[in-house]
Structure 1
Amino acid sequence: MTMSIFHHKPNQKKVGFKLSLLLLPVLFSFLFSCRYQVPESSLKAVSQKTKDSVDYLPEHYYTLNSNFEVTSDSLLLQQLPLIDVLPVYKGEKLVVAEFMVQAADTVDSVWVKVARDQETMGWVREGELLKKVVPVDPISQFIHLFSSSHTVAFFVILALFGMGYLYRAVRKKRLQLIWFNDIDSIFPNILTLLMATAATLYSSIQHFVPDIWERFYYNPSLNPLDLPFILSLFMFNVWGIVLVGLATLDDLFHQVRVEAAFFYLLGLMSCCIFLYLFFTFTAYYYIGYPCLVLYAVWVFRSIKRTSHYKFSCGNCGAKMKSKGTCPHCGAINE
């Protein structure tokens, strides 16, 4: 089959349009307020004793009627007068029913009454409770899973395995690295920059304003409009990673075959994990900030490189270096 050939400029306009849509929300982030909206609990239906206890509590990020899921093997609930014990087990759901301040308790003065059902309820120190439960909100559970030591270790092993595999492939000239390849797309570079920026923001929040992250953990939102400024920037980066990732997949599968795309994505994933770990660690010691600036400059310079592809297939739209058979769909372009 003979198809007409199209110059690559229309595709560049398409890419520019995609990029402008992805970057447009960032312009609005500077208009957002830093006020963090935390849900307020109603105390109308509780006893005066509970109201008085809550008045003495320090600022908390969860409230009455908050729902948790047990993550440890078991959690022991004390029965007043702190003699009997009722256990609840991993995976069971609990609801916060009451607070109590025990000034004489030198271990933890704040006690929380939680209930699994009408028959199973009791008191537990707040510190012990929060170590062994996670909010039922899926965003909070994802944060809990993503920040656990086992997950970090898994990412380290995966990144080392991926980089080692890629190093062997590059030495045998079977594969090119993400930054030095024939894939004509700006999105992979933007994706790595977004990942580095998100990691730096995450580490900065944990280091400088951990209370804001704790508020977000107990009252998460995917809407940047509901978050403080630094969290809104972080959430814009997260959404940017999702959108640019989809654009990367769309560009990639229009240029190479499935096998090459798989290895390329393996390299891209390994690079993103490495950048996340690197900037999360170095930003804590202030080294990550100049590194991020240098990396951003390097990425923008690489984006300005001349495109390898001057043509696109008239049948499927895949980018091509020269006229002839399309490597993606097999159509003949003249």
Structure 2
Amino acid sequence: MRIKLMIKMMVCMLGICLMLNSCYHRHNSHQQHAAMLEYSDRQLDSISFSTTHHYTNKYNFMVFKDSIHLMRQQPEELVSGLSVDSFSVKKNQLLVVTDIRMVPQDSIDSVWVQLATEDNRFGWSRESRLLPQVVPDDPISEFIMTFSNVHLLIFLVVIVVITLAYLVRKVFHSNAKIVHFNDIDSPYPLALVLLVSISAAFYAWIQTFEPEMWRQFYFHPSLNPFAVPKMLGVFLALVWSILIVGLACVDEVYHRLPFGEALLYLGGLAGVCALDYIIFSVSTLYYIGYILLVAYIWFAVKSYRRRNS
């Protein structure tokens, strides 16, 4: 027994020593505080540019439009009226920022960006012409760009298709299920449409009052709500909530309705969510969306409580 006790004590002491050793922090005499570091003028300019423009040297872009034209010569040659030539870079090709230059003589745009292509060609472009034609090389940024450009058309098509489907069903069947009016006995569809509405209004609020914060998120996106400013964290939490509640809706609907009716109901629910997104994301930009959102929440909750009292 004594031997076993001694072995246990030795193991415990060894474990404690290992844990204490892992907590030891060796002081590095060569390490300096960030405030004590000296930066060159070029580094200071790069930091300042990154703060206001949200990208700097070695930042990766991808061509989003059909093609982009880059000038081979220096920007000063174009401003001086000299002849220059250019080359095109096709869609979905990568570009890397290699230099940024301020050209005060340029009356169109004083910011010029030099980019390198995948085949080691170098060219210049005005920033105002460059940014609408490229997207940050990140899947989230690409999704934001694509969604911002075509989402209204897609949602309008969805709404028209779903509306026609409901009209056809009304002709042949009565008492069709639809959210808000003849809904199923479940809180998930209500929660989903309210989350979409609140998210759309909050997205428009960020666009209106914190455009630079959204611009920073566009150039440096993240899906982690805790890795971004609080306002963006709330928005990302709402987006994750929409995904989770949406999956719960699908499971709930398929357990409560036959397959055909469930498919049509989910299509109608998607159409209502699309309509809510369009209405609140646009109307909130003109401040009337806040009033509409309160009225919509009151209407949705009252309708649900009346049906499920």
Compute the TM-score of the two structures, normalised by the length of structure 2.
0.78
Q: Deviations over 1:200-226 (max 9, x none)?
A: 011111122211111111111111112
Equivalent residue, structure 1, for 2:92? 91
Structure 2: which 5+ residue stretches go unaligned? 1-37, 78-83
Contact 2:113 2:125 in 1 (8 A): yes
Q: Which residue of 1 aligns with 2:289?
A: 288
Equivalent residue in structure 2 for 1:78, among 71, 79, 87: 71
Aligned to 2:61: 68
CA deviation after TM superposition for structure 1 residue 193, in Å: 0.3
| Closer, same or farther: CA 185–52 of 1 in aligned 2, 3 Å | closer
TM-fit CA distance, 1:117: 3.2
| 1:190–1:85 Cα change, 3 Å | same
1:142 positional shift: 0.5
**1 CA distance for matches of 2:298 and 2:171?**
28
Partner of 1:252: 253
Partner of 1:124: 125
TM alignment of 1:141-220, pairs within 5 A: 141-148=142-149, 150-170=150-170, 172=172, 173=174, 175-181=176-182, 183-220=184-221
Separation in 2, partners of 1:116, 1:298:
54
- Which fold has the larger relative contact order, with Cα–Cα distance below 8 Å and residues 6 or more apart in sequence? 1
Range 248-257 or range 150-159, more displaced? 150-159
Equivalenced residues, count: 262
Q: Is the 8 A contact 1:196 1:292 kept in 2?
A: yes
The one-letter code matched in structure 2 to 1:154 is I
- Could you tell me how far apart the structure 2 residues matched to 1:277 and 1:56 are? 37
Give the helix-richer structure, 1 or 2. 2
Q: Following TM superposition, by how much is the alpha carbon of 1:118 offset from its aligned partner in structure 2, in angstroms?
A: 5.6
Q: By how many angstroms is 1:76 displaced?
A: 1.5
Pairwise CA distance, 1:256: 1.4
In the aligned structure 1, how far is the partner of 2:128 from the partner of 2:88? 17
Deviation at 1:163, TM superposition (A): 2.2
1:54 paired residue number: 46
Retained in 2: the 8 A contact 1:101–1:110?
Answer: yes
CA 1:113 to 1:256, structure 2 compared with 1: closer, same or farther past 3 Å? same
Cα shift readout 1:106-165 (whole Å, capped 9, x = no counterpart): 1111111111136311111111110110112111010001000x3322211221232233
Identity, in percent, stands at 36
Q: Which runs of 5+ in 1 are unaligned?
A: 1-43, 309-334
Q: C-alpha distance in 1, partners of 2:242/2:279?
A: 17
Which one-letter code corresponds to 1:239 in the other structure?
Answer: W
Structure 2 distance, partners of 1:230, 1:293, is 20
Q: Which residue of 1 aligns with 2:26?
A: none
d(CA) in 2 for partners of 1:250 and 1:76? 49
| Mapped contact 2:61–2:136 kept (Cα < 8 A) | yes
Superposed, which structure 2 residues align to 1:90-109 within 5 Å? 90-109=91-110
**CA distance in structure 2 between the partners assigned to 1:201 and 1:56 by the alignment:** 29
1:10-67 Cα distance to aligned partner (Å, 9 max, x none): xxxxxxxxxxxxxxxxxxxxxxxxxxxxxxxxxx9xxx78547536747111222211
Which TM-score applies when normalising by structure 1?
A: 0.72
Mapping of residues 12-31 of structure 1, within 5 Å: none
Structure 1 or 2, whichever has the larger Rg, is 2
The answer (yes or no) to whether the contact 1:50–1:100 under 8 Å persists in 2 is no
- Tell me the residue number matched to 2:141: 140
- Deviation digits for residues 154-207 of structure 1 (CA, Å, limit 9, x no counterpart): 211221232233244335516232123352210001100001011101111112
Please give the alpha-carbon distance, in whole angstroms, between the structure 1 residues aligned to 2:300 and 2:221.
Answer: 32
What do the CA deviations read for 1:220-276 (whole angstroms, capped 9, x no partner)? 111111222322221111111100001111111111121111100110011011111
